[in-house]
Structures are given as structure tokens and as C-alpha cells.
Structure 1
Amino acid sequence: MSNMGARVARMFRNFNLENRVHREISKEKPRAAPRYEANLPPSAGSSEAVETADSISQKNDPLLTLLKSVYVESKDPAAAEDSKDVKAGDEAERRPLRFSLPGEPYGLVELKDVPKGKLTIVEALKALGSHQRQPETWTTGKIAQEYSLDLKDTKALLEFFVPFQVHIIPPKTDSAKQIKAS
């Protein structure tokens, strides 16, 4: 609904835009206010400016040698330990892939393993299909254990992700054609 409001607002904003632009461009531009004349002595201001510019452009040898002697090397030991822990933990938290599509569909790289708590689409479809065909064998607990998933996530997956159900809505009138279930 907000999309329609944006369209109406854009329509009013762009209404007669070209004529309004030409009218604004053709207006006479306002003149700028005259600048205030400052009464500065010309010699005093310019000599200080020249001295400042000279001191900035000259090299200061003592400061340059001190700067060359400074060497900074920084290492964050906490970050180095964290990155090692993450790499070691990441390898331990992976499980081998259970099911995959034959070949390389859509040019995707073939996966060898998956992080624990995650599923590939093929594995999710396989688990959902198995649960739908044999719900007493493929229970929520067994699917969670088989694919190293959290029980809460598995329950949500089985409840909300249902790709295989087809609902045929009956027509409101008897004269309408209906697809017969075979």
C-alpha cells in the first residue's frame, strides 16, 4: 500500500517539472552583497605570512632524525590466540555431507562437509521427505541426531518448511471445473 502512496507522491512532485525548471532558470539572479573592506596594514600581515610559510617549508633536521629512529611493531596476542581457537574449533564443528546432487548442478562447487547445526538444501529435502513418508521412524529427535541439529531448530523445520503438501481448494460454485485427484 505504501508503494502506491510513493507513486502518487512522485506524480505530484514531478508534475509539470520541466516548466517549473525553465521558469526558475529564466529568473534574474540576485546580486551578491558587496564585501566589507578591511583596513589592515599591508606590510605587517604579509611579512608574518611569509615567515610562517618559510618555517613550514624548511626541514627540521633534529626532528627528522628523531622520526627516523622511531620504529613501531604491533602485535595483538589476544587476536592471534582467538584466530587459532576459531580455526581449530571450526574444523571440529563440521560434519561430513550425507547427501548431494549428482554432478555439479548450476556450476556450484561440490561440498565435502557442512558446519554442525546447518543443512544443505538436498539434505533438508531428504530429511523432510523421509519424515513425511515414515514419521514414526524419522522422528524429530532422530533427524536432529542424524544431521547434528538443535532439537528446537529441527522441530521448527518440520513444522514450517513443508514443500511436499498440495492443497486443492474446492470451488465456490459447483459449475466450476476442478482437478480430480488421481
Structure 2
Amino acid sequence: MGEAIGVAGAAAGIGVGAVFLGAGLAKLRNRRVFPGVVANYRLLPEPLVAPVAVTLPIAEVVIGLALFAGLRVAAVPAGLLLLAFAAAMAINIGRGRSHIDCGCGRPELRQPLSRALVVRNLVLAALLLPLLMPTPPVGSALWFVALAFGVALYLLTLLANALSALAQGPLAMERNSR
């Protein structure tokens, strides 16, 4: 049982770490527009928008690298960020502001807020729970299994994001208005 939890934790660390790393790097590449995304959530006082917009992508890259490297302690800030993102999205959806971009890191796939994104973040946070449990280190053969599952988790997250963005994109809106 401990070995299975260890493999699940390692897979989650790799998959969620890659999600954080990809999102943080995308935000850094688009750092000129990211403050507007943060401001659009209307949750922070104006003086905090710029500092959050600067530090959040860096934090995501650091957390992603730490998870990817197997540093179990990184599951705590990663989980807290995912829960904060889910809460920010849910608050704005509740306010009727689901049209704003989630800021998930892929500007080429502008992604309006949705319940699916909230659930995605909650699931990713829950997947990190095995990293908080004391388990023996994952052996080399099982590490490759964890790597395969971690990469699959990352790819499934990318696929879900792309499908969600496309389902809410201009072509889908045009088709639905007919």
C-alpha cells in the first residue's frame, strides 16, 4: 500500500509540477498582459495587482521545478495555490463574471472561467495529497511508472484545457448562435 501511495505521489508531483512549470513560463513570456488578467479578477486592491502579477509566475516555476524534482514539501504551496485559484474562479463565476480569462497560462487559448476549471484545480490539489503522507522512496522501476503516469496527467490536463477553451471559443459560440 505504501509503495502505491508513493508512486501516486511521485506521479502527481511530476504531472502537477509540469502544469505549474508550463503555466509559469507562459505567464513570464506574456508578462506585459498578465497584470490585466490579475486585475480582471477584481479580488485584490490595486496596489497589490502588479506585485502579484510579477511574483506569481516566478512562484509557479519554482513550485513546478520543486515538484518535478520530487521535493514533497512543495505539495503544500502547490495545493494552496490551486485552491486559491479555484476559489478566485468560483467567486467570479458566482458574480456572473465567467467571461474573463482564467489566466491559466495559455494566452493563445483564451480560456473563460468555468466550473470545469474550478473542478480541475480541486482535482489537481487532491492529487497532491499522497505527497503529504509518509511513504518509502519510490524505487527505480516504479519511478518510471510514476514518470509515465505523471506525463499522462500533464497531457490530460493540457487536453482538457484545450477542449474547454475550444468549447467556449468564438467558433463554438458562432455554431451555438445558429
TM-score (norm 1): 0.23
Per chain length, whose mean CA-contact separation is higher, i.e. which structure has more relative contact order (CA < 8 Å, sep 6+)?
2
Which entry has the higher C-alpha Rg, 1 or 2?
Answer: 1
